[in-house]
């Protein structure tokens, strides 16, 4: 049985970012599709969707009935679209050139054909009433079931089925096929989640009580992220900004950090046996390892001049391939 919205909301309110990520995955294309149905522009619809989820994250704890999350998100989407329309009343609602992201290696002809297709799809959808258009977009954009659409829009199943029938009658088979294909090509994917979490207005990201064994984090911004009581054994962090990150009560056995910005970090009560740090710059204010198991941990080409180690087990720790025991012995003999 799938996890309910109420359970995910409860976990997200306690700082479980994976739960909020699941909520985004569940409703991203519904919010995006509803916005597209009002604005007729995929890029503006994505901007609205991002705005909706950033605001939702901040207000999630005030949601009185978490089981009605979908209809709440739809109401927020409507308000955001209306606000945008009021602020942009002198602009055309549909502008195919707005904020256009041209795919790599696309020819001028391909770009023109893609824009023409989007234009044709919107012209087809604009024949429908907004109510019927919204139902149709939600049905075809991400395989949402009739019952899911009814819950999101706050309508009965019968009302959704009726609106979908009307749309199919008006659009006919050929237009429906074109609409279906174009909506699927332009639906949101996992990259959208990253945009939401990396939005500068988002509170400090927190990961709590989550299993992330052998997870890969590559080329992302994790500024001020908090990891609490997580299994990160074998996880890999590569080319990431992790400044002001906090690790507390983490299993980081054999975790790898390569070309990671670990500035002003706090690492406490972590098991790091066999962890590997390569090309790490630990700059800024003090970087602290406290009450950690650093047995067998390896630092290679790392700047450790601003690192403070408190009450840690450092047996077997290596710096540039030399054991800490040998380094300390050499230091003592040269005093």
pLDDT along the chain (335 residues), means of 10: 88 84 96 96 95 92 92 96 81 45 58 71 92 96 95 96 95 88 92 84 59 59 75 83 84 86 85 85 75 90 83 89 84 70
Residues 144 and 39 in one domain: yes
Residues 223 and 303 in one domain: yes
Per-residue model confidence (pLDDT) at position 98: 45
Residues 175 and 321 in one domain: no
Per-residue model confidence (pLDDT) at position 206: 56
Residues 59 and 179 in one domain: yes
In angstroms, the Cα distances linking 115 to 95, 96, 184, 187 are: 10, 6, 15, 16
Residues 298 and 326 in one domain: yes
Residues 260 and 316 in one domain: yes
Helix (H) or strand (E) holding 288: strand 287-290
Residues 115 and 224 in one domain: no
Per-residue model confidence (pLDDT) at position 99: 44
Q: Check which CATH number belongs to the domain holding 41 and give it.
A: 1.10.1740.10
Whether the model pTM is above 0.75: no
Q: Check which CATH number belongs to the domain holding 283 and give it.
A: 2.160.20.80
DSSP code, position 313: B
Angle, CA of 113, 119 and 124, to the nearest 5°: 125
Residues 210 and 323 in one domain: yes
Domain count, the chain: 2
Residues 308 and 229 in one domain: yes
Containing domain of residue 234, as a range? Answer: 204-333
**Among positive and negative, which fits the CA dihedral 33, 34, 39, 40?**
positive
Per-residue model confidence (pLDDT) at position 161: 97
Residues 275 and 219 in one domain: yes
Residues 130 and 274 in one domain: no
Beta strand segments in 154-280, E: 206-208, 216-218, 226-228, 236-238, 246-248, 256-258, 266-268, 276-278
Q: How far apart are CA 242 and CA 224, in angstroms?
A: 7
Q: How far apart are CA 230 and CA 242, in angstroms?
A: 17
User: Which value, to the nearest 10 degrees, does the dihedral of the CA atoms of residues 326, 329, 334, 335 take?
Assistant: 140
199 within some domain: no
Residues 18 and 163 in one domain: yes
30 within some domain: yes
198 within some domain: no
As to burial, measured by CB atoms within 10 angstroms (0-12 exposed, 13-18 middle, 19+ buried), residue 223 is middle
Last residue of a domain, one of 152, 170, 192: 192
197 within some domain: no
């Amino acid at each position: 049985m799938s996890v309910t919205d109420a359970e995910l909301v409860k976990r997200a309110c306690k700082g479980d970012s994976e739960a909020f990520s699941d909520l985004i995955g569940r409703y991203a294309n519904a919010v995006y599709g509803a916005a597209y149905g009002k604005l007729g522009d995929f890029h503006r619809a994505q901007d609205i969707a991002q705005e909706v989820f950033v605001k939702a994250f901040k207000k999630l704890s005030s949601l009185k009935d978490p089981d009605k999350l979908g209809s709440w998100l739809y109401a927020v989407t409507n308000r955001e679209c209306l606000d945008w329309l009021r602020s942009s009343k002198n602009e055309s609602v549909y502008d195919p050139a707005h904020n256009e992201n041209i795919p790599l290696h696309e020819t001028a002809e391909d770009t023109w054909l893609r824009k023409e297709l989007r234009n044709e799809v919107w012209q087809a959808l604009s024949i429908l009433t907004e109510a019927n258009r919204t139902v149709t977009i939600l049905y075809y954009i991400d395989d949402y079931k009739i019952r899911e659409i009814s819950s999101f829009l706050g309508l009965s199943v019968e009302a959704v089925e009726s609106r979908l029938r009307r749309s199919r009658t008006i659009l006919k088979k050929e237009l429906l096929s074109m609409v279906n294909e174009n909506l699927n090509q332009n639906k949101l994917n996992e990259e959208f989640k990253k945009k939401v979490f990396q939005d500068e207005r988002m509170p400090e990201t927190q990961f709590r009580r989550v299993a992330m064994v052998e997870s890969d984090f590559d080329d992302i911004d994790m500024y001020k992220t908090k990891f609490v009581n997580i299994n990160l054994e074998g996880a890999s962090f590569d080319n990431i900004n992790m400044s002001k990150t906090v690790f507390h009560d983490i299993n980081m056995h054999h975790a790898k950090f390569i070309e990671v910005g670990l500035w002003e970090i706090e690492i406490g009560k972590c098991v790091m046996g066999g962890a590997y740090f390569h090309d790490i710059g630990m700059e800024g204010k003090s970087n602290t390892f406290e009450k950690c198991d650093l047995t067998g941990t390896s630092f290679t080409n790392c700047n450790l001049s601003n690192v403070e180690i408190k009450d840690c087990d450092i047996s077997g720790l290596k710096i540039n391939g030399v054991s800490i025991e040998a380094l300390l012995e050499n230091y003592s003999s040269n005093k």
